[in-house]
């Protein structure tokens, strides 16, 4: 009899459910989009009930599709794992189970003023870096919790009385799936709140005091792989799953790191999506960054914790969308590849897509996009090539910073995400970083990472050695460009990036 693990992949624009078999293959999939809410410029919200119902309906959908295969039964599902958009913040009433405010999404910048106030407090920036591995930024959950408590009348008092609960998205879903019995967050998500001590693996009382957040509302930090509870019997549409262990939780980016099989220190993955997220496994000891990268808990299994270094580029695949939707240079992303393949290089053109500022290692929120090196000979094809190169240059910046921080020379970069299907871009990436770029056949690495966490907790998979044997390679790209040529191009990129710095301040 075949057995399976169900993975819930709760993303920023859609909720997905995927059933995986023992070999890590996707047996069936379900997906539902849900509304985005933009109350003001720079503000982004979700209705937590939309998150919940879209996720539950995606499960109902995937079960219906799986049953079309003769012999499948919901009883064959041995565990459920959850992966999620990180930092997105939900506060709800413990008794009614209803949110007191819309979820404040990770992209939302409404708490920038709170962050500026925190930065002005003597020694607090250093304290945050030392204890949480993060920088003070509106990206993270802590200031979002504070904003909700500041703006919903009476909420801070109710939180002190234990009547309100906070959670990131996996916490919210686990609480609902278990009928309110499990109020937990895994270490990978906790380490993105700006409230979590990543050495002690617990909430930091001093930071909670600085943000005036009652600790009574915080979930219990737990490993990423363990049984948190069972699916409650009264969840509409999921009655067949009653009693199934909810046994894994991990944030989306560390989930992809695990799903890619990056189990040893020095192994790294990059997800090429709207933005890019590069993570390197640094083992059981945290690495403090000298280059403005972030230090996180990647996952916890049993009594062992694995740390990671993380860097992100805000604009990656989004630059291709810009060429398509704003400039109308291409009809679709594939055409961008086709145009770029017709030229040998970008003809001296550099595109720095700092449309919303620059992330690591620069962290310049006042930077803006620039295109330099334009001559009469530059064509649409060269612009397309420069756009692809801009994504790869940003990843090269991050990898060089990681190498400097960790002292580890990368041997292989494992890649996933929608834009990783571009053969020309993966070849450019290999040319720039000088090590192999390794693309798997199974690109569902984020959901797969959550499935592996749940499966390990219930013995569905024995260990990471068994999991590693599941990974199949689609294609490997190696450097074809001479080092001297690469160095010359990269030097030009660095000069172009400098032109983008503090552009808004220059205007003012």
Contacts of 261 (CB under 8 A, 6+ apart): 267, 414, 464, 467, 468, 471
Phi, psi of 82, rounded to the nearest 5 degrees = -130, 130
pLDDT at 48: 97
Q: How far is CA 209 from CA 30, 142, 146, 230, in A?
A: 42, 11, 11, 34
Claim to verify: residue 204 and residue 174 sit in the same structural domain: yes
- What's the pLDDT tens digit per position in 169-191? 999 999 999 999 999 999 999 99
For residue 314, is it within any domain? yes
Among 81-90, 265-274, 283-292, 411-420, the range with the most confident prediction by mean pLDDT is 81-90
Claim to verify: residue 190 and residue 292 sit in the same structural domain: no
- What's the pLDDT tens digit per position in 76-131? 999 999 999 999 999 999 999 999 999 999 888 889 899 999 999 999 999 999 99
Pairing of strands 473-477, 436-440: antiparallel
Claim to verify: residue 229 and residue 277 sit in the same structural domain: no
For residue 256, is it within any domain? no
Q: How many domains does the chain have?
A: 2
What tokens were used for 196?
A: 């979590």
Claim to verify: residue 206 and residue 267 sit in the same structural domain: no
Domain stops at, among 217, 243, 269: 243
- What's the pLDDT tens digit per position in 471-507? 999 999 999 999 999 999 999 999 999 999 988 865 4
pLDDT at 1: 67
Domain stops at, among 182, 215, 243: 243
Phi, psi of 345, rounded to the nearest 5 degrees = -155, -175
Claim to verify: residue 449 and residue 304 sit in the same structural domain: yes
- The answer to whether residues 16 and 56 touch, using CB atoms and an 8 Å cutoff, is no
Residue 82's CATH number: 3.30.420.40
- Residue 450: closest CA among 3, 23, 1, 24: 24
- What's the pLDDT tens digit per position in 337-393? 999 999 999 999 999 998 878 877 887 878 889 999 999 999 999 999 999 999 999
| Higher pLDDT among residues 506 and 202, named by residue | 202
- The H or E element that residue 498 is part of is helix 483-500
pLDDT at 406: 87
- Residue 114: closest CA among 213, 241, 180: 213
For residue 237, is it within any domain? yes
Residue 311 CA to residue 290 CA, distance in Å, equals 12
pLDDT at 110: 87
pLDDT at 507: 45
Claim to verify: residue 111 and residue 218 sit in the same structural domain: yes
Claim to verify: residue 227 and residue 294 sit in the same structural domain: no
Contacts of 435 (CB under 8 A, 6+ apart): 409, 410, 411, 412, 413, 479
Q: Average of pLDDT values for 148-169?
A: 96
pLDDT at 270: 93
Q: Average of pLDDT values for 197-225?
A: 97
For residue 250, is it within any domain? no
Q: Average of pLDDT values for 144-165?
A: 96
Domain stops at, among 176, 210, 243: 243
Claim to verify: residue 215 and residue 189 sit in the same structural domain: yes
Claim to verify: residue 214 and residue 324 sit in the same structural domain: no
pLDDT-based confidence at residue 418 (cuts at 50, 70, 90): confident
- What's the pLDDT tens digit per position in 24-73? 998 999 999 998 889 988 888 999 999 999 999 999 999 999 988 878 88
Claim to verify: residue 384 and residue 423 sit in the same structural domain: yes
pLDDT of residue 4 exceeding 60: yes
For residue 325, is it within any domain? yes
- The answer to whether residues 312 and 278 touch, using CB atoms and an 8 Å cutoff, is yes
pLDDT of residue 295 exceeding 80: yes
For residue 233, is it within any domain? yes
Claim to verify: residue 224 and residue 275 sit in the same structural domain: no
In which domain, by residue range, is 78 found? Answer: 4-243
pLDDT at 349: 97
- What's the pLDDT tens digit per position in 300-316? 999 999 999 999 887 88
Q: How far is CA 453 from CA 87, 169, 279, 312, in A?
A: 20, 17, 18, 24
- Residue 360: closest CA among 293, 302, 406: 293
């Amino acid at each position: 009899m075949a057995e399976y693990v169900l993975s819930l992949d709760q993303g920023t624009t859609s909720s997905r459910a995927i059933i995986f078999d023992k070999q890590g293959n996707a047996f069936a999939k379900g997906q539902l989009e849900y509304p985005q809410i933009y109350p003001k410029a720079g503000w982004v919200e979700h209705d937590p009930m939309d998150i919940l119902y879209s996720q539950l309906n995606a499960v109902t959908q995937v079960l219906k599709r799986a049953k079309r295969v003769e012999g499948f039964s919901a009883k064959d599902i041995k565990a459920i794992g959850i992966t999620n958009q990180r930092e997105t913040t939900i506060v709800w009433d413990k008794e009614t189970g209803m949110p007191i405010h819309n979820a404040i999404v990770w992209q939302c910048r409404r708490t920038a003023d709170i962050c500026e106030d925190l930065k002005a407090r003597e020694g607090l920036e250093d304290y945050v870096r030392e204890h949480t591995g993060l920088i003070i930024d509106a990206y993270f959950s802590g200031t979002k919790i504070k904003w909700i408590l500041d703006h919903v009348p009476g909420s801070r008092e109710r939180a002190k009385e234990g009547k309100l609960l906070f959670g990131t998205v996996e916490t919210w879903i686990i609480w609902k799936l278990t009928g309110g019995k499990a109020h937990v967050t895994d270490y990978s998500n906790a380490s993105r709140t700006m409230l979590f001590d990543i050495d002690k693996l617990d909430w930091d009382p001093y930071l909670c005091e600085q943000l005036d957040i009652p600790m009574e509302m915080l979930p219990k930090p737990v490993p990423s792989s363990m049984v948190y509870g069972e699916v409650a019997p009264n969840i509409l549409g999921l009655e067949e799953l009653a009693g199934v262990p909810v046994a894994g939780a991990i944030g989306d980016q560390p989930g992809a790191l695990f799903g890619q099989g990056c189990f040893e220190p020095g192994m790294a993955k990059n997800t090429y999506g709207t933005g890019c997220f590069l993570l390197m496994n640094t083992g059981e000891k945290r690495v403090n960054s000298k280059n403005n990268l972030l230090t996180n808990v990647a996952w916890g299994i049993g009594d062992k914790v694995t740390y990671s270094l993380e860097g992100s580029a805000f604009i990656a695949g989004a630059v291709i969308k810009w060429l398509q939707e704003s400039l109308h240079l291409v009809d679709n992303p594939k055409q961008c590849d086709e145009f770029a393949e017709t030229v040998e290089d970008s003809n001296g053109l550099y595109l720095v897509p700092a449309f919303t500022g620059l992330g690591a290692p620069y962290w310049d929120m006042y930077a803006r996009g620039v295109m330099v090196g334009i001559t009469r000979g530059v064509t649409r094809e060269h612009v397309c090539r420069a756009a692809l190169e801009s994504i790869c240059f940003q990843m090269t910046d991050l990898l060089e910073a990681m190498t400097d921080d960790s002292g580890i020379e990368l041997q292989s970069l494992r890649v996933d995400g929608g834009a990783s299907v571009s053969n020309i871009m993966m070849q450019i990436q290999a040319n720039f970083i000088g090590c192999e770029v390794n693309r798997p056949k199974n690109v569902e690495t984020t959901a797969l990472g959550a499935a592996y966490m749940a499966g390990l907790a219930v013995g569905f998979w024995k260990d990471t050695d068994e999991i590693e044997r599941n990974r199949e390679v689609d294609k490997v790209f190696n450097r074809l460009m001479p080092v001297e040529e690469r160095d010359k191009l990269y030097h030009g990129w660095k000069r172009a990036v400098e032109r983008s710095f503090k552009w808004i301040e220059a205007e003012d």
